[in-house]
């Protein structure tokens, strides 16, 4: 996978949870990126959440939906 695909892969709000501790895990794609690539991920994550909030009727991003899903 090239860097652009890794950056896009890490932009999703989907995250695995550690089975033992329950802790949210970093994206595997993020782990494969250089520091510059990770900066790009941060900006893309931010832009993605803005886009999602603008389009959602309740103004919720997929991050908020992911958190709520874990609570339900």
Partner 1 sequence: MTAIDRAFARARRNDEAGFTEWLRLVELPLRRSLARFARVVDVEAVVQETLLRMLIVARDPERELTGDNASLRFAIGVARNVAHEEIRKLGHEDLVDPADLEQVEVDPEPPSDRGLRRAILACIERLPSRPRSALRQRLLMGHESPDREIAASLRMRLNTFFQNITRARRLLAECLAGRGIRLPEIPR
Binding residues for partner 1, rule: CB under 8 A, are: 1, 4-5, 8-15, 23-27, 30-31, 35-36, 38-39, 41-55, 58-71
Residue 45: both structure tokens together: 């994550």
Q: Give the containing element (helix H, strand E) for 49.
A: helix 35-55
Q: In whole angstroms, how close is the CB of 14 to partner 1 at the nearest point? A: 5
Are 49 and 26 spatial neighbours (Cβ–Cβ below 8 Å)? Answer: no
Q: Give the count of alpha carbons within 13 A of 44, CB side only.
A: 17
Q: In whole angstroms, how close is the CB of 1 to partner 1 at the nearest point? A: 6
Q: In whole angstroms, how close is the CB of 51 to partner 1 at the nearest point? A: 7
Give the residue with the Cβ less far from partner 1, 14 or 19: 14
């Amino acid at each position: 996978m090239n860097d652009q695909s890794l950056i896009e892969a890490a932009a999703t709000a989907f995250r695995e949870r550690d089975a033992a501790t329950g802790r949210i895990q970093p994206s595997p794609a993020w782990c494969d990126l250089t520091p510059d690539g990770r900066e790009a991920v941060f900006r893309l994550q931010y832009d993605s959440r803005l886009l999602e909030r603008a389009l959602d009727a309740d103004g919720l991003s997929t991050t908020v939906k992911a958190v709520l899903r874990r609570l339900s």
